[in-house]
Structure 1
Amino acid sequence: MTRVLVVNAGSSSLKYEVLEAESGASVVSGLVERIGDPGSVVPDHAAALAAVLEGLDAESIDAVGHRIVHGGTVFVRATVIDDAVESEIERLAVLAPLHNPPGLVGIRAARAVLPFVPHVAVFDTAYHATLPPEAYTYAIDAAVAARHGVRRYGFHGTSYRYVTRRAAEVLGRPLEELRLVVLHLGNGASAAAVAGGVSVNTSMGMTPLEGLVMGTRSGDIDPAVLVHLQRVGGYDAAGLDDLLNRSSGLKGLGGHSDMRDLISAVDRGDQAAALAFEVYVTRVQRYIGAYAAELGGIDALVFTAGVGENSSRVRARAVDRLGFLGIVVDDTLNSTPSVAARVVSPADSAVAVLVVPTNEELQIARETVEVVRGEA
C-alpha cells in the first residue's frame, strides 16, 4: 500500500489526513488551528507539521499531496514540486491572494520536515483546463484580459474529478458516454457541465466569487453595481472585496451563512431567510437548465458537498420545475438520510439524480500516487 499524507494549509490552520491511496482507507486525520496567533503554542506551519508528524510514523509516509487552489494556465495537472514549481505557485498568488500563499507555506514546511519523499501539488483549477475558449473568455478588451490574466479558471476541480468518476460507477456506465451537471454545494458553491468526464463549463470564474449564491459570497452580479457602489456608496476595492466575499450570499440576505441555520429560520417564519433560500435555489435551477442546454441534453444531475449531500430540501427545490427536462426526485429516496453514493430519482426517470459524497483528500492522494509513478 502507498501511504500519502494530504496537506491542506490555510492562513492559520493545517488540515491533514494520511490515506492508503489504493484502498482509500484513512489512517489518521486532524486539524491544527490558530497557527501563529498570539499565545498559540504553534508558532508557524513548520512547527504544526512537525507536531503532526510526532504522532505519526513519518517513515511510513511515501509521498505528500498538497491542495493548491490556483494553477493558472501553467499547471493543468498534478505536478511534482521542486523549487521552480514553488516559485511559479508564488507568482500565481496574484490570482489567488487568499489561497495560494497559505498553500505555499504548507509546501515549504512539509518539504523541510519531509525532504526525502516526493511532494505533489494538486490544483483546484486543473480539472477545468479543458474549458473551450468560448467558455473561459470574458467579453472585455482582449489585450487587457491577456495582460492581466483575466479569464475563467474554475475551481473545486479535485472534487469534480472524484465525484464524476463515482457517479459513473453508481450508474454502471462508462464516464466517457455521460453528460453530467454536477452541483458542488457547500459554503462555497459551484456548478459544472461535464461531457465524457471533461469539464466544458463551470460557474466559478477568474475567482471563486462568480456563479451560484454561496454562504457569504454573492455569486453572479451586474458588474456595474460595483461601479455604482464606488461612485455613490464610497466603497473602495477593499470594501467591495469584503462586501462581496464575506458579507453577501445567504448571510447578507438571510442573516445565516450556514444552510442548516437558514432553513431553521425559514421554518420559524423569517421572511428574509425565506427570500435568501429562494434566491439560492433559483440560481441553482438557472445553471442546471443552462448547462443541460450547453451539453445538448443531460444523463445525470449530481449533488455533492455539505449542502448537496445533506439537504434534501435544497435538492427537492433545485429540481422543482425541471420536470420538463426529465429531472425529478423520488420524495422517499431523497428524504432518506444516507452517507452512501446513491440515486434519488425514480427508476423510470429520463435523467438520473444522484447524491455522491465527495472525498477531495482521497482524490489528492490518488493523483499524487499517479504522478509519482508517472501514470498521470
Structure 2
Amino acid sequence: MAQPDNPVRVALYDLRRLLVGPDVPPRPATTRRRWHGWRSYLVPFAVLALVGLTAAAAQYLEENRGLADGYTVALGLGATVPVALAVRWPLWAWRLAYPLLFLGVVRAGPDEPWPWNPVQILGYLVVLVVLGTRVETGLALWAGAATLLPVYLFVAERANAHGVTVLVIGALLLADQIRRRRLSQRALAEQAERSELEQARRAVLEERTRIARELHDVVAHHMSMIAVRAETAPYRLDAVPEPARAEFTAIAGAAREALTDMRRLLGVLRSESADPETAPQPGLPDVPALVEAARRAGMTVTLEVDVPAEPPASVGLAAYRIVQEALANAARHAAGAEVRATIRGAAGALEVRVANDRGDGPTTAGGGRAGHGHGLTGMRERAVSLGGTFTAGPTDDGGYAVVAVLPCDGEDGTA
C-alpha cells in the first residue's frame, strides 16, 4: 500500500501502522551474523535476568499493594516479556507493553512516587527505545505521544510528569539518531559492495577484451595466412597432383571454418551483452562428416554409431566435440595409428568411446605422457556439465582411449 502525500493522512497512516500494521522486517543477515558468536552466552544470561526481574516485580507488587499472587505474576511477566519480544518484534512488544501502563496502576499507594513498579518502568523504556531504532520517525512519534497519555493521567506530581516527557522525547531522539546512523551505514555498505561488483565486472570485461585482441592479432592473423597460402599453393607450384590440390582445398576450408568460429568467439568476448549464438551447432548427425574429414587428412578411422533415438541437442553437441578433440589428439600424438570411434545409446545414456592403437608418434592420443594442452580438460568439463562421466588413459596394447558417458534422460536438468 502506497503511503499518502497529505500530512494529515500520513499521520493517520502511521497511527494505523503502529496499532494494527505488520511488524517491521527482521534485521539484515549481516547484523544477525555479527551477534551469532555471542548468542550462546547472551541468551542464557538474558533469560536469567528476565526471570529475576519478573520475580522482583512480583515481590514489589505483593509487598507494596497486597495483590494476589496470580495478579502479581501476570504484571511481572507483563513488565519483562515485551523486552524479550522487542528483539524480533518491536511493534508487537510495544502493543503488549502499552496496555499494561493502564493495568499496572492498580492499587497504587500514596507512598509510591510512581504508579508503576520500577521493573515495568525500565522495561517499557527499553521497548520504546528499541521501537524507535527500528521504525520510521512517524511511528515513533505516535508511540511517544501515546506514552504520555497515561503519564499525565496517573502521575500525581506535574513536575514528575514533565520530567517523564523530557525523558521520553530524549529517548526517542536518541533512538532516531541510532536508526538514521544504522541506515546510513547500511547504505554506505551497499554502495561499497556495488562499487566492488562494478569494478570486478569492469576488470573481467577488460580482460576479455584483452584476450579477444590477442586472439585477433595473433591467432586470427595466422589462420588467415594459412587459408590464403593453402588456396594459392596450387597456383604457385608446378604440376600439382589432384590429390594434393584437394588436400590444399581442404586445409583452406578448415582454416576459414576456424576463422568463422574465431569471429563468433571474439564477438562474445568483446561484449558481455552480446546476443546469444543462433547459428546451428554441430550434433550427432555431423559426426560421420567429421570422421570423413579426418580420413581425407590421412588418418585411418573407423566409426560405429548405434543410437536408437536422436539425443538432446546439448548431448549431441558434447558428443561431437569430444570425438573432434579425440581425433585431433590422435592425429597429433599418435601419427599413423588406427583410430576407432564408437557411439552407442542405451539405458538413457550415450556412450562415446574413441581409442587408438600405438602410433608412430612420441605420445598417445590424449597426450597422457607428454601433452600439456587443455583437450582432456575440455572433454571432461563437457561430460561433467551434463551430469555424465569421463575417463581417459592408456590401453593394454599401448594405445589410448577416452570414454564419455552422457545422460540423455534429462534428469540432470541439462540434457
TM-score by length of 2: 0.21
TM-score by length of 1: 0.23
* Structure of higher CA gyration radius: 2
Whichever structure has more helix as a proportion of its residues is 2
